A and B are shown apart, each in its own frame.
Chain A
Amino acid sequence: GQNIDQPTEMTATEGAIVQINCTYQTSGFNGLFWYQQHAGEAPTFLSYNVLDGLEEKGRFSSFLSRSKGYSYLLLKELQMKDSASYLCARWEAAGNKLTFGGGTRVLVKP
């Protein structure tokens, strides 16, 4: 694989903030995706970062540091429907290859 590491599981309270970290191998790296996957469903695209910095999309933000091989997904104002797995994926342009980490299961409690 491409050594993509993210925590297995996180629990947070409704209305709170949760940050999901992802580290990856930097050689050949071209961009970083985040996907959301509800149980029994296909992953759906959340964000794509290619430059350093923070990209904000409503309650969800994604950050990338290319030099550190590090990204995070920030979920604000958590809602019960945000309970899902969040997948970090590394894109390698040279091989047109998209490789995923193991996913972080987020459980939102009332």
Chain B
Amino acid sequence: DVKVTQSSRYLVKRTGEKVFLECVQDMDHENMFWYRQDPGLGLRLIYFSYDVKMKEKGDIPEGYSVSREKKERFSLILESASTNQTSMYLCASGFIMGPNYGYTFGSGTRLTVV
């Protein structure tokens, strides 16, 4: 089975801190995605990447950046955490040419910024 692992299940950070959320997949997928999920707003795409060192902005990239130095790892960075970034963050990965196999999600990181 494909495994997408997010480093932390729960995180509490202070306003202004730099926060790193890590995601690792073990199936050699090209595509990786970062979403946040908020009640009433669904899953919103923050950033995605289809190759090492490549990144594309999603629908809500403001206040975030990403890093993909290795194919299996996609990091989401909150440069200066703010309370409106309190959310559930979900990472997903999949093949470019095989979307019929679906994209696999990690278990999520629930981030609270105080």
Contacts and interface: CB of A to CB of B under 8 A. Distances in A.
Contacts of B92: 98
Contacts of A89: 43
A97 B42 contact: no
Given A1-B59, A41-B107, A43-B90, A97 B102 contact: no
Contacts of B99: 30-31, 33, 48, 50, 91, 93, 98
Contact of A100 (B35, B50, B96, B107): B35
A34 B4 CA distance: 19
A97 B56 contact: yes
A102 B41 contact: yes
Interface of A: 1, 30-31, 33, 41-45, 48, 50, 87, 89, 91, 93, 95-103
B49 to A, nearest CB: 9
B21 to A, nearest CB: 14
Interface in B70-108: 90, 92, 94, 96, 99-108
Contacts of A45: 101-104
Closest 7 CB pairs of A and B: A45-B102, A102-B42, A100-B43, A42-B105, A96-B50, A48-B100, A103-B42
Interface string B12-39: 0000000000000000000101010000
Interface residues of B, number: 28
27 contacts: A1-B59, A30-B99, A33-B99, A33-B102, A33-B103, A41-B108, A42-B90, A42-B107, A43-B43, A43-B90, A44-B105, A45-B103, A50-B99, A87-B43, A96-B48, A97-B56, A97-B58, A98-B45, A98-B92, A98-B94, A100-B42, A100-B44, A101-B42, A102-B40, A102-B42, A103-B42, A103-B43
Contact of B102 (A30, A48, A95, A101): A48
Contacts of B106: 42
Given A45-B102, A97-B48, 12 more contacts: A1-B44, A41-B107, A42-B105, A42-B107, A45-B103, A48-B100, A48-B102, A96-B48, A96-B50, A98-B33, A98-B92, A100-B44
